[in-house]
């Protein structure tokens, strides 16, 4: 077993990357595996390239999101290591566009120290896992292994209620041919409704499903967001898809509203 440790001071945030290289237990023939690293910081990118190459992986590096999209479109990667802070479009947007372009390689997002919002936004954008800087290289390898073992992400099916459509993969919503721009929370709420179209959902059920990470102890938060949602998916189209069921909760009509 090839095992060593390095400690380096990197860029302005001075995070340290402990390079510990266990050279075993990759799930498939690693000489065939290709990893795309998206990182603009030269030192960090070089370290990742060297560390992963020493594991026997084929590594390509892109310094910005647009370049990563072009590279991922041109060849198949087994996984993408994607930094959030990039020049031009950031890591979240890069991830969203990868999925929109039909690239379903697992994505491991690298986020800033302790940024919980980053984490949620990263996973919302279609990332499969995240790692907070600074991290130990061994941890990166472990996460990457787990993602590669899981394989290409299963593309979730587009959900429909009448002419209201929601794509959980690309996080897009349409009424007919018109794309609707929803906030992260509005999207999650609508996704919850669409998964249970035709059924009455209580406020508590909606809170549990859609406010998993940052439960807000405001009794009217569901009402407020249902109102936002109606203003975007119903009102402009003259529809009433989200019905209030007195004393019980809300229901999304299966036909998408009339
Ligand atoms: Ca960066």
Residue 170's alpha-carbon distances to 96, 148, 187, in angstroms, are: 6, 21, 11
Residue 122 has pLDDT above 60, yes or no: no
List the domain boundaries for the chain: 3-150, 159-252
H or E stretch covering 252 = strand 249-252
pLDDT of 30 reads: 55
Determine phi and psi for 31, rounding to 5 degrees: -65, -15
In this structure, what token pair is assigned to residue 177? Answer: 């041919």
Pick the CATH number of 159-252 from 1.10.3720.10, 1.10.10.10, 1.10.10.60, 1.20.1630.10: 1.10.10.10
> Residue 156: which pLDDT band, with cuts at 50, 70 and 90?
confident
CA of 24 to the centre of ligand 1 (A): 28
Q: The whole model's pTM is what?
A: 0.59
Mean pLDDT across the chain: 81
CA of 115 to the centre of ligand 1 (A): 15
Residue 179 has pLDDT above 90, yes or no: yes
Residue 182 has pLDDT above 90, yes or no: yes
CA of 112 to the centre of ligand 1 (A): 9
CA of 166 to the centre of ligand 1 (A): 31
CA of 249 to the centre of ligand 1 (A): 44
Residue 22 has pLDDT above 60, yes or no: no
CA of 111 to the centre of ligand 1 (A): 9
> Residue 3: which pLDDT band, with cuts at 50, 70 and 90?
very low
CA of 17 to the centre of ligand 1 (A): 14
Percentage of the chain exceeding pLDDT 70: 78
> Residue 117: which pLDDT band, with cuts at 50, 70 and 90?
low
pLDDT, tens digit, 9 for 90 and up, residues 231-257: 999 999 999 999 999 999 999 999 998
Count of CB atoms within 10 A of residue 64's CB? 16
pLDDT, tens digit, 9 for 90 and up, residues 195-207: 999 999 998 888 8
CA of 62 to the centre of ligand 1 (A): 11
> Under 8 Å CB-to-CB from 65, ≥6 apart: which residues?
38, 86, 88, 89, 90, 91, 93, 94, 97
CATH number of 3-150: 3.40.50.2300
């Amino acid at each position: 077993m090839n095992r060593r440790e390095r400690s380096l001071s990197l860029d302005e945030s001075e995070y340290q990357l402990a390079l510990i290289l266990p050279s075993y237990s990759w799930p498939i023939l690693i000489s065939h595996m290709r990893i795309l690293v998206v990182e603009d910081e030269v030192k960090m990118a070089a370290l990742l390239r060297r560390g992963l190459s020493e594991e026997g992986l084929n590594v390509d590096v892109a310094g910005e999101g647009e370049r990563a999209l072009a590279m991922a479109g041109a060849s198949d990667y087994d996984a993408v290591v994607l930094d959030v802070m990039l020049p031009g479009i950031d890591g979240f947007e890069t991830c969203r566009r990868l999925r929109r372009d039909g690239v379903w390689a697992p994505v491991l997002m690298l986020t800033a120290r302790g940024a919980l919002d980053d984490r949620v936004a990263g996973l919302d954008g279609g990332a499969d896992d995240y790692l907070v800087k600074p991290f130990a290289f061994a941890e990166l390898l472990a996460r990457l292994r787990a993602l590669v073992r899981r394989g290409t992400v299963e593309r979730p099916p587009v959900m429909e209620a009448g002419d209201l459509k929601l794509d959980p993969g690309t996080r897009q919503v349409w009424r007919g041919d018109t794309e609707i721009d929803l906030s992260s929370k509005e999207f999650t709420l609508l996704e919850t409704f669409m998964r249970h179209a035709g059924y009455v959902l209580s406020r508590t059920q909606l809170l549990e499903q859609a406010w998993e990470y940052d439960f807000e102890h405001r009794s009217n938060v569901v009402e407020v967001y249902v109102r936002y949602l109606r203003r975007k998916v119903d009102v402009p189209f003259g529809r009433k898809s989200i019905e209030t069921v007195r004393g019980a909760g809300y229901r999304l009509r299966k036909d998408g509203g009339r």
